[in-house]
Amino acid sequence: MGMALGFHIVFATIGIGLPPLLFAAEGLYLRTGKEFYRVMAKRWAIATAVLFAVGAVSGTILSFSFGLLWPSWTEFAGGIIGLPFFLEGFAFFTEAIFLGLYLYSWDKLSPRAHWLCTIPIAVAALGSAFFIISVNSWMNQPAGFDIVNGVVTNVNPTAAMLTSRAFPYEFTHGALAAYVAMGLGIAGVYALAMLRGDRSDYNKKALMLGLGLAAVFAPLQVVTGDLSARHLAHRQPEKFAAMEGQYATEKGAPLRIGGIPFPNDHETKFAIEIPKLASFLAFEDFNAEIKGYDSFPPDEVPNIFLAHFPFQIMVALGFTFVGVSALFWGHAWWKKRIDPPRLLLALLVAVGALGFVAIEAGWFVTEFGRQPWVIYHIMKTSGGATSRDGIWVLLIVFGFVYMALTAGMAGVLLLQQRGRTQTPRAS
Task: Give the binding-site size for another protein (rule: CB under 8 A).
Answer: 72
Q: Judged by CB under 8 A, does residue 19 bind another protein?
A: no
Beta-strand pair 250-251/255-257: unpaired
**Considering beta carbons, is residue 79 or 330 the nearer one to another protein?**
79
Integer Cα distance of 420 and 187 in angstroms? 17
Of positions 157, 168, 383, 424, contacts another protein by CB under 8 A: 157
- Least spacing, CB of residue 25 vs another protein, in Å: 17
Of positions 106, 156, 332, 344, contacts another protein by CB under 8 A: 156
CB burial of residue 286 (10 Å; 0-12, 13-18, 19+): middle
Buried b (16+ CB within 10 A) or exposed e, 60-79: ebbeebbebbbbebbebbee
For another protein, the binding residues in 59-98 under the rule CB under 8 A are: 59-61, 63-64, 66-68, 71-72, 74-80, 82-83, 85-90, 92-94, 96-98
List the x/- string, 235-264, binding to another protein by CB under 8 A: ------------------------------
In 178-283, the DSSP E strands lie at 250-251, 255-257, 260-262, 267-269, 272-274
Specify the 3-state DSSP secondary structure of 43.
helix
List the x/- string, 377-396, binding to another protein by CB under 8 A: ---------xxx-x---x--
Task: Give me the count of residues in the chain.
Answer: 427
Residue 150 DSSP symbol: T
Contact present, 20 and 122 (Cβ < 8 Å): yes
Of positions 5, 30, 50, 277, contacts another protein by CB under 8 A: 50
Q: Judged by CB under 8 A, does residue 412 bind another protein?
A: yes
**Considering beta carbons, is residue 346 or 395 the nearer one to another protein?**
395
Q: Judged by CB under 8 A, does residue 37 bind another protein?
A: no
Count of Cβ atoms closer than 10 Å to residue 419 Cβ = 9
**Considering beta carbons, is residue 99 or 358 the nearer one to another protein?**
99
List the x/- string, 98-137, binding to another protein by CB under 8 A: xxxx-xxx--xx----------x-----------------
**Considering beta carbons, is residue 62 or 220 the nearer one to another protein?**
62
Of positions 419, 421, 422, 426, contacts another protein by CB under 8 A: 419
Q: Which among 91, 102, 86 has a CA at the least distance from the CA of 26?
A: 102
Integer Cα distance of 250 and 291 in angstroms? 7
